[in-house]
């Protein structure tokens, strides 16, 4: 309150001083009028085009305004102060001057606004901020660029622009060069009168450019999204997100593909850097498969080892505010050709050759007697009984070595040579469905389970030999 009184007091003093000045001018003018034609000059005063009164001296108005500005400048010499309103005068010669100096000064005292001359940093069609002079605005923009591009590089680019005959140096592998730094929006500087409290410093300007301005944005709901995670993604509270979307509530169930209104800060302007870089990259070798009937199917051999090649690639890269937005190959040179890998795969199929992976030789069933000592003698194999049907099948691919009656107690017997060191013997068959020399495949029926020879019941007696040595059949099934 005291400060306001002091200000009002100062304004009154200015006004009184101005009126005394007018009185002096008027006395002098009266002397002149006596020798003149009886006409006096008055001035109609306009504030922003609106008539506010008549004065018999422009000086009384201008001196009053000058005093106001001087007082502000003495309090703060940072800015150049000006009046917000435009004061204009229209002179008129009259016989009987009817000036209202005090009324005009009172009107000015009540309505005049003192502002500062400032420069607006205009980016596109938006004012990012106001600065006390153009140099401050330019400095802000320069330091904003230096966040993304080294100061020395910016200076070099500026000097290169002045001497366009300079050719860029060729790049070596691993090197890069910035060719151009531009802004994504047109930047201009607008001189304006503004209130002192909206003028910002360079540091405040940089912070403002970094943060950007809010823009409307739509978020499409994806799997796993919840209100809290969406709000956090856009630096919002959940309450704010709900407020932006009338159909939302705290317990709303989001649907995949649903669109929500969100807000997001977007930079006022992006620093767009165009650069080139030369890098060495590997060329992945190709793989080629050859087929050969010299190898069995499933067998592979490496005929030629593969080796990666090398190439030098020159890229043109565009970076916006530190993020790569495009990367294009402009030149590519192979320095080492890759060596193709060649794999030979076998195609040879021989059903008489066993794989070594045996299958159960009956359709179900169980081992009713194991290999080993039994009833005072040695049991050379295992017995399988209780199948779901009586088919006997080849345990693996092979050639029938013999098929027929065995007088040694085996009854009807089949021996299969699997041509890989293994042989299998099948005994006590009721009937045989293969003949000696025939090739059989794994799972093929070779007979029917029976009780021929020395047998106490219907079952299959099977023996297995590896490289001429008898082994326990239970170990391979």
Given a contact cutoff of 8 angstroms between Cβ atoms, the answer to whether 406 and 427 are in contact is yes
pTM above 0.85, yes or no: no
pLDDT at 267: 86
Look at residue 385 in the predicted model and tell me its pLDDT.
96
Confidence of residue 30 (pLDDT cuts 50, 70, 90): very low
What is the C-alpha R_g of the chain? 52
Bridge partners (DSSP) listed for residue 323: 320
Compute the distance between CA of residue 67 and CA of residue 61 in angstroms, rounded to an integer.
10
pLDDT, residue 98, reads 86
8 A C-beta contact, residue 313 and residue 270: no
CA within 13 Å, CB half, 186: 4
| Cα four-point dihedral sign 348, 354, 358, 360 | positive
| Contact status, residue 473 vs residue 368, Cβ threshold 8 Å | no
Instruction: Convert the pLDDT of each residue in 307-347 to its tens digit.
Output: 999 999 999 999 999 999 999 999 999 999 999 999 999 98
Beta pairing, strands 287-296 & 271-283: unpaired
Task: Give the residue, 429 or 349, on which the prediction is more confident.
Answer: 429
Per-residue pLDDT band at 213 (split at 50, 70, 90): confident
pLDDT at 297: 75
Render pLDDT for 377-414 as a digit per residue (tens, 0 to 9): 999 999 999 999 999 999 999 999 999 999 889 999 99
Cα–Cα distance measured from residue 114 to residue 294, given in angstroms and rounded to the nearest whole number: 101
Judged against a pLDDT cut of 80, whether residue 137 lies above it is answered with yes
**CA proximity to 450, closest of 359, 360, 362:** 362
For the stretch 92-135, pLDDT in tens is: 999 988 888 999 999 999 999 999 999 999 999 889 999 999 99
Strand partners, 216: 263
pLDDT tens digit string along 221-275? Answer: 999 999 999 999 888 899 989 988 988 998 889 999 999 989 877 888 999 999 9
Q: How confident is the model over 9-30, as a mean pLDDT? A: 48
Beta-sheet pairing, 411-417 with 398-406: antiparallel
Rounded-to-integer distance, Cα 392 and Cα 431, Å: 10
DSSP conformational letter for 247: T
Range with lowest mean pLDDT among 29-43, 73-87, 195-209, 402-416 = 29-43
Task: Summarize the confidence of residues 461-469 as an average pLDDT.
Answer: 97
3-state secondary structure at position 438: coil
Query: From the CB of residue 267, how many other CB atoms can be counted at a distance below 10 Å?
Result: 18
User: 3-state secondary structure string, 93-119?
Assistant: EECCCCCCHHHHHHHHHHHCCEEEEEE
CA distance linking residue 193 with residue 80, whole number of Å: 10
Q: In this predicted structure, what is the pLDDT of residue 276?
A: 95
So what's the pLDDT on residue 11?
45
Stretch 55-69: mean pLDDT: 93
Does the pLDDT value for residue 27 go beyond 80? Answer: no
Rounded Cα–Cα distance for residues 199 and 178 (Å): 34
CA dihedral sign of residues 46, 52, 55, 60: negative
- Domains (ranges, CATH) in the chain? 2-112 (no CATH), 119-162+173-210 (no CATH), 213-266 (3.10.350.10), 274-348 (2.20.230.10), 362-475 (2.70.70.10)
- Return the pLDDT at 130: 96
Q: Is the pLDDT of residue 216 over 90?
A: no
Q: Can you name the residues that pair with 190 across neighbouring β-strands?
A: 120
| pLDDT attached to residue 12 | 53
> Is-contact 320 272, C-beta < 8 A?
yes
Inter-helix orientation angle 58-75/101-111, to 10°: 30
How do beta strands 341-348 and 287-296 pair? parallel
Average the pLDDT over each of 133-147, 296-310, 380-394 and give the range with the smallest value: 296-310
Tens of pLDDT, residues 167-210: 667 899 999 999 999 999 999 999 999 999 999 999 999 999 98
pLDDT at 281 over 70: yes
Residue 178 Cα distances to 148, 273, 279, 419, angstroms: 12, 7, 15, 72
* Reduced 3-state DSSP string for 266-286: ECCCCEEEEEEEEEEEEECCC
pLDDT of 164 over the 60 cut: no
Question: What is the per-residue pLDDT for 214?
Answer: 75
The pLDDT confidence band at residue 37, using thresholds 50, 70 and 90, is: low
The whole-angstrom separation of Cα 462 and Cα 387 is: 14
What is the DSSP annotation of 123-159? ETTEEEEEESSHHHHHHHHHHHHTTTS-HHHHHHHHH
Instruction: Check residue 196 and report its DSSP letter.
Output: G
């Amino acid at each position: 309150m005291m400060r306001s009184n002091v200000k009002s007091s100062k304004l009154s003093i200015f006004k009184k001083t101005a009126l005394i000045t007018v009185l002096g001018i008027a006395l002098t003018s009266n002397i002149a009028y006596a020798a003149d034609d009886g006409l006096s000059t008055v001035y109609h005063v306009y504030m922003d085009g609106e008539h506010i009164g008549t004065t018999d001296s422009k000086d009384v108005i201008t001196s009053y305004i000058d005093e106001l500005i001087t007082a502000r400048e003495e309090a703060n010499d940072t800015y150049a102060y000006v009046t917000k309103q435009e004061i204009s005068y229209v002179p008129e010669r009259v016989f009987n001057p009817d000036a209202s100096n005090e009324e005009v000064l009172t009107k000015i005292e009540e309505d005049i606004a003192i502002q500062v001359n400032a420069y607006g940093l205009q980016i596109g069609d938006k004012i990012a901020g106001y600065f006390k002079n153009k140099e401050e605005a330019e400095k802000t923009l320069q330091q904003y660029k230096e966040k993304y591009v080294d100061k020395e590089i910016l200076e070099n680019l500026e000097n290169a622009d002045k001497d366009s005959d300079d050719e860029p140096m060729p790049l070596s592998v691993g090197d890069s060069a910035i060719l151009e730094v531009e802004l994504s929006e047109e930047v201009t500087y607008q001189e304006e009168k503004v209130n002192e409290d909206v003028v910002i410093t360079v540091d405040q300007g940089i912070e403002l450019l970094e943060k950007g301005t809010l823009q409307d944005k739509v978020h499409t709901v994806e799997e796993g999204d919840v209100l809290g995670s969406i709000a956090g993604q856009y630096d919002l509270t959940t309450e704010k997100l709900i407020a932006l979307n009338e159909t939302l509530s705290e317990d709303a169930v989001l649907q995949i593909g649903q669109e929500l209104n969100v807000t997001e800060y977007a930079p006022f302007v992006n620093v767009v850097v165009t650069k080139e870089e030369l890098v060495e990259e590997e060329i992945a070798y190709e793989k080629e498969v050859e087929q050969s009937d010299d190898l069995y199917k499933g067998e592979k051999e490496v005929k030629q080892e593969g080796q990666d090649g090398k190439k030098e690639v020159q890229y043109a890269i565009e970076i916006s505010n530190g993020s790569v937005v495009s990367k294009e190959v402009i030149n590519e040179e192979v320095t080492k050709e890759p060596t193709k890998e060649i794999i030979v795969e076998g195609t040879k199929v021989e059903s008489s050759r066993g794989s070594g992976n045996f299958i159960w030789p009956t359709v179900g069933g169980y081992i009713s007697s194991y290999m080993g000592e039994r009833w005072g003698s040695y049991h050379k194999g295992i017995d399988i009984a209780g199948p779901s049907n009586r088919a006997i099948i080849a345990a693996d691919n092979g050639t029938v070595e013999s098929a027929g009656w065995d007088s040694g107690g085996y009854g009807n017997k089949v021996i299969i040579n699997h041509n890989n060191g293994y042989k299998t013997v099948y005994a006590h068959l009721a009937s045989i469905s293969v003949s000696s020399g025939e090739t059989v495949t794994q799972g093929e029926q070779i007979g029917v389970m029976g009780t021929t020879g020395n047998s106490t019941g219907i079952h299959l007696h099977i023996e297995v030999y590896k490289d001429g040595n008898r082994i326990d059949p239970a170990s391979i099934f």
